[in-house]
Structure 1
Amino acid sequence: MSPQHGPGPEAPAENPTRTRPPKLDKKAYEKELKKLQADLVDMQQWVRETGSRVVIIMEGRDAAGKGSAIKRITQYLNPRFCRVEALPAPTSREQGQWYFQRYVEKLPTAGEIVIFDRSWYNRAGVERVMGFCSASEYRRFLHQAPIFERLLVEDGIMLRKYWFSVSDEEQVARFTSRRNDPLRQWKLSPMDLQSITRWEDYSRAKDEMFAHTDTPTAPWYTVESEDKKRSRINVINHILASVPWEKVEHTPPRIPERPEVASDYERPPRTEFRYVPDRAADLEQGAQKKQKRKKGKRG
């Protein structure tokens, strides 16, 4: 384990009356994030070299910051050995399978990291609250989930489960921001908005889920996410602290000298190729004209 990381104190349970933490300094955040991301690259190299298997579950309320945390975790990792799984609603065929079956297919092989952007805990959350599963299916899940996870851990999979906690006020603020942003409106669905009108139902479902599945073998870790920057730093730091990785010496391949071009090679004329329009040149010319106008006014 990298010695500079530590899991820190356990975060408190969700509390709608909590106060927002002070805003994290942007420069301090970016500096620490870059350092943690470099350690994630080293951790992934250790996972590959040792043939380890890592599963990271990201759960929490809608707009709690899971997606942005996953983006920072995976930003510099090799995508061939780190996958993000966000499974859609089950097909009719999958509905006839054992509930965990389609998740088993997504588990990592040796040397891989898999991050579940929501996971089998859909059954304990949205399916339970929205009535997408029966009472017997729900009870069976609460019974089987700890057994399923114990089997994963016993087989050598390193399982980490994170719950992103956000207040109702902050959730509404983030929904509003998404609604007013054309680039992020796709992230807001009618199902998401049900989390506002059914806030207490989701709270009860989360409490019952924790009561049955927060086990010594596969514990839950709560990530306070009122401030997204803080939550990203904290969850990455905890991952690095909880996975027993070590820095593996890696020598990058040497870049060879480019050989001389054969004397009989002649590149085809540029006119024979199709090129995309140079939109960047138009922007450059526009910037130059704007700069000239400013100089003219000053003169």
Structure 2
Amino acid sequence: MGKKLKRKDYEQELEPLQLQLVNLSRWLLRTGKRVVVLFEGRDTAGKGGAISAIREHLNPRQCKVVALPKPSDREATQWYFQRYVHQLPAAGEIVLMDRSWYNRAGVERVMGYCTPDQYTTFLQQTPIFERLLIDDGILLFKYWLTVDQAQQEERFAERLDNPLKRWKLSPVDVEARTQYQAYTDAREAMLAATHTHHAPWTLVDFNDQKRGRLALIRDLLSRLPDTTVPPPDLELPALEHKPLKESFTLLKPISNVSDQD
């Protein structure tokens, strides 16, 4: 792996891409198009960071992040795709899925959380399900973030040592460390069954997360039509009076806290 990208250089390259993403959001509102982006990959690959880079300057009412928990007892009895259908975007919206229905082809398959029949049915139904989404006009993009085991181990150790990141480390993650090859085999079987002409997979190298985010965003933008939509013409006319100070009535004593305290 080459030299990692410095933060200053990363931010300089990221800013124009984020401006294009803001353009994309205006284009979605004008056209009523719907976008779904799936982020899949091993633990620590960098899915959350990539999603944050995309949504940082977008309206949270328009750009929704979906990271579903373990299915409830009721959800476990439903059609597998049912709870994901509920998360799909309406006109003008973009949904970023931090893991998706492909849980069944990854962690559920490797850790034994689904039966062999459920797994086989999933691989058979997924291309059909995704064909239905695309035929209905959804723009679907599927990304797998790749990371070598040595790099994954470094990130696991960082999470263990950093109390701000410790929440990202679960017992399932610890067990997954011993299943690196099994996850590779499961990914290859998944790609063979679900890499289709109408919904292809794109693999992105995330050993350097900053370079990976830039590559992913560039690819996403390149696969969309021209989304250039000028911002609306707005003016801020001068106030007819002097700016007012904030005023309020205290109902009971409270503390007044500022950064200078």
TM-score above 0.5, yes or no: yes
Corresponding position of 1:76: 57
Corresponding position of 2:141: 160
What letter matches 2:257 in structure 1? D
1:281 is aligned to 2:245: no
What letter matches 1:231 in structure 2? G
- How many angstroms apart in 2 are the aligned matches of 1:228 and 1:184? 16
- How many angstroms apart in 1 are the aligned matches of 2:99 and 2:205? 17
1:228-286 superposed Cα distances (whole Å, 9 cap, x missing partner): 1100100111111111132112224322443548xxxxx9776666443435233xxxx
What pairs with 1:18-167 in structure 2 (closer than 5 Å)?
A: 20-167=1-148
Corresponding position of 1:258: 239
Which of 168, 179, 183 does residue 160 from structure 2 map onto?
179
Q: Are the equivalent residues in 2 in contact too, given 1:164–1:222 (CA < 8 A)?
A: yes
Q: Percent identity?
A: 48
What letter matches 2:259 in structure 1? A
- How many angstroms apart in 2 are the aligned matches of 1:210 and 1:229? 25
What pairs with 1:197-208 in structure 2 (closer than 5 Å)?
A: 197-208=178-189
Corresponding position of 2:225: 244
What letter matches 1:112 in structure 2? E
Corresponding position of 1:294: none
Number of residue-to-residue matches in the alignment: 260
Q: 1:150 to 1:268 in 2, by over 3 A?
A: closer
1:159 CA drift (Å): 0.4
1:39-83 superposed Cα distances (whole Å, 9 cap, x missing partner): 100011101110000000000000001100100100001111110
What letter matches 2:211 in structure 1? R
Decide which structure has the larger Cα Rg and report it.
1
Which of 190, 193, 199 does residue 171 from structure 2 map onto?
190
What letter matches 2:181 in structure 1? E
Corresponding position of 1:219: 200
What letter matches 2:27 in structure 1? W
Corresponding position of 2:209: 228
Aligned-residue CA RMSD (Å): 2.0
Q: Are the equivalent residues in 2 in contact too, given 1:32–1:233 (CA < 8 A)?
A: yes
Q: 1:151 to 1:271 in 2, by over 3 A?
A: closer
What letter matches 1:205 in structure 2? A
- How many angstroms apart in 2 are the aligned matches of 1:206 and 1:190? 21
Runs of 4+ in 1 over 6 A off after TM superposition: 267-271
What letter matches 2:30 in structure 1? E
Structure 1 length normalisation: TM-score? 0.82
